[in-house]
Amino acid sequence: MKIYKVGLPFIGMSSLMLLMSPLANAAEMSNMDHGSMDMSGMDMSGMDHSSMDMSGNMSDMDHSGMDMSGNMSDMDHSGMDMSGNMSDMDHSGMDMSGNMSDMDHSGMDMSGDMSDMDHSGMDMSGDMSDMDHSGMDMSGDMSDMDHSGMDMSGDMSGMDHSGMDMSGMDHGSMDMSGMQGGEAPADARSPDYSNGVPYGRFGKPVMMGSLPLWGVSVDDLGYQFDDDQINYEFDTWYGTDSNRVTLRSEGSIQTKDDKEIDSLTSLSYWKPLSIFWNGEAGVAYDTENDKSAVMAGIAGTAPYFIETDARAYLYTDGQVRLDLGAEYEWRLDQHWVVIPEVELTAFSKDDTDNHITKGFNEFGADVRLTYEMLSRQLAPYVGISYETALGNARDLRRQEDEAVDSSSVTAGVKFWF
């Protein structure tokens, strides 16, 4: 039996070679090229990266052509340490279009230097639902990271980034077209709100305010018992809420002797001037002096809901007539209403032939108690009216043996439709 003796120099050389082998592998990995690395067919479900240590120098690592389109569901990166220097890492062509649902990055440490990392061409169009990044630490230097061309059009519903710190990252040109939100398409809603639905036999819808309508309002149609005359006042209109044509008339009809009719009728254009006031302009005819005139006026609601109107008439002979009126509706309940009303008339010059003097000529007032029925469209009334002459008109009436003052009980109806 022969015995072989091994010398100490041989043992030392073997140990040195065993120690240098890991160092050579680590040096080789620092500049690894993952550009053509194909992981598309690999099943990486259930892979555990929880204790993976990547704290070393990984600068200039190239993942540009790395294909991770395979099944990577349930991959665990919870304890992965990437705190080392990862600057200049290139992920521009990295394909992660595979199924990466349920990947866990909750404990992943990326606190190292990741400046200048390039994700511009990274494809993450796969299914990344339920990925957990809640505990991922990205507090390191990630300045100048480029995500400009990163494609995240895949399904990323359910991804949890609640605790992820991404301060300083640049996502200026990042494409997230597959996620919910963004601008609506140009034809999402049509200007007429039809949404592409045809109108059918009913035609195009029209706003009610733009339709021409008409109305008739009779404010007074009553009998004065003491004066034996019928008083009336009405106006009709046709048009819209912005423009109308109005026909208005007021006067009295004598029921005894020669049955004389005194009326003032106008045809005018009506337009709102503000919220509470409307303007009128047109032509008029006065049967009392048998003259035509040009008319202009304003009507509306004064403070405390007082209905007010003022109209001026310029006659062909140069005479100017001014009518002022005010009316208030004092509502007692849902049907009973008390309506006091006053009127004042003035002229610019004397006209003895028509019993007119310069200045204020006549003042009239009446009070009516009305009962509204039929949806307030019909309201019979009873009341008292009073009229008196003013200024020089009183002397003119006395010279012609006419009454200066008069009062009468009235009854009538007002309605509109």
SS3 string, 327-387, reads: ECCEECCCCEEEEEEEEEEEECCCEHHHCECCEEEEEEEEEEEEECECCCCEEEEEEEEEE
Average pLDDT over the chain, rounded to whole?
Answer: 75
Mean pLDDT of the 301-313 span: 97
Under the banding of pLDDT at 50, 70 and 90, the label for residue 256 is confident
- Sequence-distant (6+) residues with CB within 8 A of 39 are 66, 67, 68, 69, 70
Query: Which amino acid does the sequence have at 136?
Result: M
CA distance 277 to 152: 60
Q: Is pTM beyond 0.85 here?
A: no
> How many Cα atoms occupy the beta-carbon half-sphere of 177 within 13 Å?
8
Say if CB 253 and CB 261 are below 8 A apart. Answer: yes
Mean pLDDT of the 87-102 span: 55
Query: Which amino acid does the sequence have at 75?
Result: M
- Sequence-distant (6+) residues with CB within 8 A of 10 are none
Coil, strand, or helix at residue 192? coil
Say if CB 106 and CB 49 are below 8 A apart. Answer: no
**Main-chain dihedrals φ then ψ at residue 210, nearest 5 degrees:** -95, 0
What would the DSSP string read from start to end of 102-159?
A: T-B-TT-B--SB-TT-B-TT-B--SB-TT-B-TT-B--S--TT-B-TT-B--SB-TT-
CA distance 239 to 169: 63
The pLDDT assigned to 379 comes to: 97
Say if CB 54 and CB 29 are below 8 A apart. Answer: no
Other CB atoms within 10 Å distance of the CB of residue 274: 8
The pLDDT assigned to 147 comes to: 54
User: Does domain 216-416 match CATH 2.40.50.100?
Assistant: no
Coil, strand, or helix at residue 394? helix
What number of residues does the chain have?
A: 417
Please tell me which residue, 311 or 23, carries the higher pLDDT value.
Answer: 311
| Cα angle 216-295-276, degrees, rounded to a multiple of 5 | 60
Q: Can you say whether the dihedral through the CA atoms of 73, 74, 75, 77 is positive or negative?
A: positive
The pLDDT assigned to 72 comes to: 54
Under the banding of pLDDT at 50, 70 and 90, the label for residue 123 is low
Place of tokens 């003013």: 390
Q: Which two tokens stand for residue 53?
A: 């240590």
For the chain, state the CA radius of gyration.
Answer: 48
The pLDDT assigned to 401 comes to: 87
Say if CB 369 and CB 336 are below 8 A apart. Answer: yes
Is residue 132's pLDDT more than 90?
no
The pLDDT assigned to 389 comes to: 95
Q: Please report, for the chain, the start and end positions of each structural domain, with discontinuous segments joined by +.
A: 216-416
**Main-chain dihedrals φ then ψ at residue 215, nearest 5 degrees:** -160, 155
The pLDDT assigned to 83 comes to: 52
